[in-house]
C-alpha cells in the first residue's frame, strides 16, 4: 500500500515534468501577433518610465562606448527589420556598445543596446536575429512596465507586512514575515524568468516567420554552455550546472532555453540560409578589435573556445593572430612556443598582417630564437612605421654594442 | 528582541531614518564671495527628476510632473537672476562631440559632489583621507581645467550645475507612515526632496561653492513652489543677496 502510494505520488510529480519535456499541445512557437501600429506609452507609470528612458537614451547617444560606424549600424538595423518585420523594427533604435560581454538589452522606449561581446559570439545572421528578436519581444510585451508594477506590488505588500509584524511582535509573526519575504522575492524573480521565457517564445515566433532558420536560437545557448564549460575547465572549477535555477536567477537556465527553443523551432525552416558568410563579412572589419577586447578579459578557456569556434569554417590570419595573442599574453614558456607557431600560421596566410609579425617577433625573442625574432620585429616596423609602439620595438631591434 | 533588530535592518532598505543634518554649504578656501559679483554664470541643463514614492519606497517616475517642474525651475532661475548679482546665461544645446563633453562633465560633477556630500558634508561615513581636511576646514575639490572646453564656456566665468530629485509620498506611503507611527511607533519617511547645486570656476575647474540639501521645501510642480525651491538650492550663492547670515563651514558642528 505504501509503495503504491509512493508510486502514485511519484507519477503525480513526474507528470508535469514530462509534460514540460515534450510539449504535446504546441509544436511551434506561436506566430507574432498582428502589428498594431506605432506604440505610444499609456498611463502615468508607463509615461514616467519612457520619460526617464528618453533621458537615458539622450545620454547613451553621446556615450564614448557607442560604436557609431554607419555600415555596422545599418547592417544591424536591417537584420532586425528582416527578423521582426519592416513595420515593427521602426520602433527600435540600436546602439552598439563596446563592451566585451555576451549580452544585449531592451528598454521601455525602444532603446536596444547590443554589446560587442554578443556580436563576437554569433556565427550567423540567424543566431544574432534570435537575440535581437528576443530583445524586441521584451519591447513588444512591455516587460519593463509589468516588472515595475510587480516589484511595486511586492514591496508594498512587504512594507505593510513589516509594520503589522512589528505591531504583533510575536515570534510567530516574525517567522511568518520571513516566509512571506522569501516567497515575495522568490515570486518576483520567478516572474522575471517567466518574462524572459515569453520573450524567448516571441523571438522564436519572429524567427519562424522570417527568412532565417529558427534552429539557430537553440544553437546560441548550446554555444553559451560550451563556452562556460571551457572557461571552467581551464580555471579548474567544477563544471557549471546548466539545469539548476538559482533563487535570484534573472533568466531561465541555459539548458532549458536551448531545449525549448530547439523543440519549438519550425522544422521546415531548417533548410533556410542562416547567412553565415554575410555575417562574417559584416563583422570582418571589427573582428580584430572584438577579439582583442575579449582576450584582455583574461578568461583563457572562454577566449580559446570563442576563437576555435569561429574557426570552424576555416582559420583566417586574424584568428591565428588572436590565438597567438591569447597564448602570448598568458605568457608561460609553453604558451610562447605555441604562440610563435600560431603567429607563424597567421603570417603564412597574410604576410602583410603587421601585428602578427610583432607578436611572432616578441614570442620568438622570449623563447631563445633571438635572430628570427628580431627579423620579424623589423618586418613589423617596415609594415607599420607609424605604430604607437614603433619607438619601443625599434629599440629592441637595434644592434647591441658590447 | 533579536528579531526586532532584524526587522529594523530589513526595513531600513525602504525606510530612511532622517539624517540629523540635512543641509550644508561650503565655499572654496581662499575664495572671496565678493569676487563673484558681476560675473557671467553659465547654467548647465539642470537634472530634474520628479515622481512619487510607492508604499514600499520605490521611486515612481512621473513624466508630466518632471516636464512641468523643469519648466518651472527654468522660469524660477530666470526670475532669481537679479538677486544673484550676476549675469546668467543658459548653456547652449550641444550636439555631437560637444554633447559628449557636456554629459561627461555633468557626470563628473555629479560624482564629485556626491563624494563631497557623502565623505565631507555629513558625518558618519567619512573617508579616512578626508578626516584631516575636515578638521582643518579645507574645502578643495576640482573638476580639472578641461571645463574650459565646455560649449559656451568661452563667454562665461562660472558654470552652475543643478541636480534635483523629488519623490512625493503616495497616498499609500502616507497611510503606511501614519499607521507605523501610531501602531508600532516606527518612523517611516514619506517623500524625498533632495538636491544640490554647485558653482565651478570655468578657468580652473575648481568647485567654488556647493550647496546640498537632503530635505527641501517648495512644490516644484507649481511655479511658486519652484521659486522657493530654487531659492533654497541657491541659498548662500556667493556674491548674492541669498546669502545666509553665516555660511556654514565645511567641518561638522
**Interface confidence (ipTM) of the complex:** 0.80
pLDDT of residue B5: 38
Contact A92, A76 (CB under 8 A): no
User: How near does any CA of chain B get to the CA of A76, in Å?
Assistant: 22
Which spans in A94-215 are helix H? 116-121, 125-140, 143-168, 171-209
Q: Give every CB contact of residue A338 below 8 A, 6+ residues apart in sequence.
A: A327
| Separation between Cα atoms, residue B242 and residue B180, nearest integer Å | 38
Question: Does the distance separating the beta carbons of A151 and B58 come in below 8 Å?
Answer: yes
Predicted pLDDT at A269: 92
Asked whether residue A252 is assigned to any structural domain, the reply reads yes
Q: Which of A48, A155, A174 sits opposite B61 (nearest CB)?
A: A48
Contacts of B7 in chain A (CB under 8 A): 162, 165-166, 174, 177
A65 vs B: CB within 8 A: no
Contact A52 B4 (CB under 8 A): no
The three-state secondary structure class of A179 is helix
Subunit contact A159:B56, Cβ cutoff 8 A? yes
Chain A CB contacts of B56 below 8 Å: 152, 154-159
Distance of alpha carbon A132 from alpha carbon A42, whole angstroms: 25
Is residue A308 a part of any domain in this protein? Answer: yes
Question: Does the pLDDT of residue B101 top 50, yes or no?
Answer: yes
Residue A392: predicted pLDDT: 93
Residue A324 within any structural domain of the chain? yes
Using a CB-CB distance cutoff of 8 angstroms, which residues of chain B are in contact with residue A181?
10
| Same domain membership, residue A310 and residue A258 | no
Q: How far apart are CA A210 and CA A42, in angstroms?
A: 30
H/E stretch holding A361:
helix A354-366
C-alpha distances out from residue B175 to A163, B15, B50, B170, B180, Å? 11, 14, 21, 9, 8
Q: A36 in a domain, yes or no?
A: no
- Interface probe, candidates A163, A171, A174, A185, chain B, greatest B C-beta count within 10 A: A163
Name the residue with cell 546602439. Answer: A95
**Is the residue at A14 inside a domain?**
no
A223 and A317 part of one domain: no
Residues forming beta bridges with residue B164, ordered by sequence position: B48, B195
* The pLDDT value given to residue B13: 37
Nearest-Cα distance to chain A for B172, in Å, is 8
- Interface of chain B against chain A, CB under 8 Å? 3-4, 6-7, 10-11, 14, 49, 51, 54-58, 60-64, 66-67, 99-100, 102-104, 172, 176, 179-180, 183-184, 186, 188
- Share above pLDDT 70 across residues of chain B, in percent, rounded to a whole number: 84
Owning domain of residue A142: 41-271
A155: nearest CB among B51, B54, B103: B54
Residue A324: predicted pLDDT: 97
Contact between chains at B60 and A152 (C-beta distance less than 8 A): yes
- Residues on chain A touching B44 (C-beta within 8 angstroms): none
Q: How far apart are CA B2 and CA A111, in angstroms?
A: 47
Residue B138: band (very low, low, confident or very high) from pLDDT cuts 50, 70, 90: confident
More reliable by pLDDT, A13 or B180? B180
Q: What is the pLDDT of residue A23?
A: 46
Q: What average pLDDT does chain B have?
A: 80
Residues of chain B with Cβ-Cβ distance to A156 below 8 Å are: 54-56, 172
Please state the rounded mean pLDDT for residues B218-234.
91
pLDDT value of residue A97: 97
- Residue B63 pLDDT > 60: yes
- Alpha carbon distance B47, A13 (integer Å): 55
**Which residues does residue A104 pair with via DSSP β-bridges, in sequence order?**
A114
| Minimum-distance CB partner of A152 among B4, B10, B58 | B58
Q: What is the pLDDT of residue B28?
A: 84
Report pLDDT for B186: 87
Q: Are residues A343 and A257 in the same domain?
A: no
Please indicate whether, in this complex, the C-beta atoms of B55 and A156 are within 8 angstroms of each other.
Answer: yes
Point out the residues of chain A with pLDDT beneath 50. 1-24
Q: Is A149 on the interface with B (CB under 8 A)?
A: no
CB proximity under 8 Å: A 272-291 to B:
none
Continuous segment of H or E residues that includes residue A354? helix A354-366
Q: Does A162 touch chain B (CB under 8 A)?
A: yes
Model confidence at B22, in pLDDT bands (50, 70, 90)?
A: low
**Banded pLDDT at B247 (limits 50, 70, 90):** very low
How many domains are contained in chain A? Answer: 2
Q: Chain A partners of B180 at a C-beta cutoff of 8 Å?
A: 163, 166
A310, A238: one domain: no
How near does any CA of chain A get to the CA of B29, in Å?
34
- Closest-CA distance, B40 to chain A, in angstroms, reads 27
Distance (Å, whole) CA A280 – CA A286: 10
Do A104 and A189 fall into the same domain?
yes
Q: Is A155 an interface residue toward B (CB < 8 Å)?
A: yes
Asked whether residue A89 falls in the same domain as residue A118, the answer is yes
**A203 or B91: which leads in pLDDT:** A203
Is position A279 within any domain? no
- Write the DSSP symbol of residue A271: G
Nearest-neighbour CA in chain B from A53: distance (Å):
10
Q: Are residues A307 and A391 in the same domain?
A: yes
- Is residue A336 in a domain? yes
Q: A167 — contact with chain B (CB < 8 Å)? A: yes
Of A63, A159, A164, the CB nearest to B14: A159
pLDDT of residue B200: 92
Backbone angles phi, psi at B200, to 5 degrees: -115, 135
Q: Which residues of B touch A169 (CB under 8 A)?
A: 4, 184
Query: What is the SS3 assignment for A5?
Result: helix
* Residues B97-106, mean pLDDT to the nearest whole number: 86
- Residue spans of the domains in chain B: they are 23-233
Structure confidence at residue B117 (pLDDT): 83
Asked whether residue A362 is domain-assigned, the answer is yes
Euclidean distance between CA atoms B138 and B185, whole angstroms: 41
> In this structure, what CATH number is given to the domain that contains residue A368?
1.25.40.10
Closest residue in A to B4 (Cα) is: A166
Same domain, A243 and A293: no
Residues A317 and A288: beta-carbon distance below 8 Å = no
> What is the rounded distance in angstroms from the CA atom of residue B170 to the CA atom of residue B54?
6
Amino acid at each position: 500500500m505504501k509503495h503504491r502510494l509512493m508510486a502514485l505520488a511519484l507519477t503525480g510529480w513526474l507528470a508535469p515534468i514530462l509534460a514540460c519535456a515534450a510539449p504535446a499541445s504546441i509544436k511551434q512557437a506561436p506566430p507574432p501577433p498582428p502589428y498594431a501600429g506605432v506604440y505610444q506609452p499609456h498611463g502615468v507609470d508607463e509615461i514616467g518610465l519612457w520619460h526617464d528612458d528618453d533621458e537615458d537614451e539622450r545620454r547613451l547617444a553621446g556615450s564614448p562606448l557607442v560604436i557609431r560606424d554607419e555600415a555596422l549600424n545599418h547592417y544591424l538595423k536591417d537584420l532586425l527589420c528582416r527578423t521582426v518585420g519592416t513595420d515593427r523594427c521602426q520602433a527600435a533604435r540600436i546602439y552598439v556598445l563596446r563592451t566585451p560581454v555576451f549580452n544585449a538589452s531592451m528598454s521601455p522606449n525602444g532603446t536596444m543596446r547590443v554589446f560587442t561581446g554578443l556580436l563576437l559570439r554569433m556565427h550567423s545572421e540567424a543566431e544574432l536575429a534570435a537575440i535581437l528578436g528576443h530583445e524586441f519581444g521584451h519591447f513588444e510585451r512591455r516587460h519593463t512596465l509589468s516588472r515595475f508594477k510587480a516589484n511595486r506590488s511586492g514591496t508594498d505588500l512587504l512594507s505593510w507586512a513589516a509594520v503589522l509584524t512589528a505591531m504583533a511582535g510575536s515570534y510567530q509573526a516574525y517567522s511568518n514575515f520571513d516566509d512571506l519575504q522569501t516567497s515575495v522575492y522568490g515570486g518576483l524573480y520567478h516572474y522575471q524568468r517567466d518574462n524572459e521565457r515569453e520573450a524567448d517564445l516571441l523571438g522564436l515566433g519572429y524567427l519562424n516567420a522570417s527568412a532565417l532558420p529558427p534552429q539557430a536560437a537553440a544553437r546560441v545557448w548550446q554555444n553559451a554552455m560550451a563556452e562556460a564549460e571551457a572557461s571552467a575547465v581551464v580555471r579548474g572549477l567544477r563544471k557549471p550546472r546548466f539545469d539548476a535555477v538559482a533563487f535570484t536567477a534573472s533568466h531561465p537556465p541555459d539548458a532549458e532555453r536551448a531545449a525549448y527553443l530547439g523543440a519549438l523551432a519550425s522544422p521546415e525552416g531548417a533548410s533556410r540560409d542562416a547567412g553565415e558568410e554575410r555575417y562574417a563579412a559584416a563583422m570582418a572589419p571589427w573582428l580584430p578589435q572584438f577579439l582583442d577586447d575579449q582576450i584582455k578579459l583574461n578568461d583563457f578557456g572562454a577566449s580559446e573556445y570563442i576563437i576555435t569556434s569561429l574557426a570552424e569554417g576555416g582559420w583566417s590570419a586574424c584568428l591565428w593572430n588572436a590565438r597567438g595573442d591569447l597564448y602570448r599574453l598568458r605568457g608561460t614558456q609553453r604558451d610562447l612556443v605555441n604562440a610563435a607557431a600560431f603567429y607563424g600560421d597567421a603570417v603564412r596566410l597574410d604576410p602583410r598582417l603587421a601585428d602578427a609579425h610583432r607578436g611572432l617577433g616578441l614570442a620568438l625573442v622570449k623563447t631563445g630564437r633571438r635572430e628570427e625574432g628580431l627579423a620579424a620585429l623589423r618586418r613589423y616596423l617596415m609594415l607599420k612605421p607609424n605604430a604607437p609602439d614603433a619607438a619601443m620595438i625599434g629599440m629592441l631591434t637595434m644592434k647591441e654594442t658590447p | 528582541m533579536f528579531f526586532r533588530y532584524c526587522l529594523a535592518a530589513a526595513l531600513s532598505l525602504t525606510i530612511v531614518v532622517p539624517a540629523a543634518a540635512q543641509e550644508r554649504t561650503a565655499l572654496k578656501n581662499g575664495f572671496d564671495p565678493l569676487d563673484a559679483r558681476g560675473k557671467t554664470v553659465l547654467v548647465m541643463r539642470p537634472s530634474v527628476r520628479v515622481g512619487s514614492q510607492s508604499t514600499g519606497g520605490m521611486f515612481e517616475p512621473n513624466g508630466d510632473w518632471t516636464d512641468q517642474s523643469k519648466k518651472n525651475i527654468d522660469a524660477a532661475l530666470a526670475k532669481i537672476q537679479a538677486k544673484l548679482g550676476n549675469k546668467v546665461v543658459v548653456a547652449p544645446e550641444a550636439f555631437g562631440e560637444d554633447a559628449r563633453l557636456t554629459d561627461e562633465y555633468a557626470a563628473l560633477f555629479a560624482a564629485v559632489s556626491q563624494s563631497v556630500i557623502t565623505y565631507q558634508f555629513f558625518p558618519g561615513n567619512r573617508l579616512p583621507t578626508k578626516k584631516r581636511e575636515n578638521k582643518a576646514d579645507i574645502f578643495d575639490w576640482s573638476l580639472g581645467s578641461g571645463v574650459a572646453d565646455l560649449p559656451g564656456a568661452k563667454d562665461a566665468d562660472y558654470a552652475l550645475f543643478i541636480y534635483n530629485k523629488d519623490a512625493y509620498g503616495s497616498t499609500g506611503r502616507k497611510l503606511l507612515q501614519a499607521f507605523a507611527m501610531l501602531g508600532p511607533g516606527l518612523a517611516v519617511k514619506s517623500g524625498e526632496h533632495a538636491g544640490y547645486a554647485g558653482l565651478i570656476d570655468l578657468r580652473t575647474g575648481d568647485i567654488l561653492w556647493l550647496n546640498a540639501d537632503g530635505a527641501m521645501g517648495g512644490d516644484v510642480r507649481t511655479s511658486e513652489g519652484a521659486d522657493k525651491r530654487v531659492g533654497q538650492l541657491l541659498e548662500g550663492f556667493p556674491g548674492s543677496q541669498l546669502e545666509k547670515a553665516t555660511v556654514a563651514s565645511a567641518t561638522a558642528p
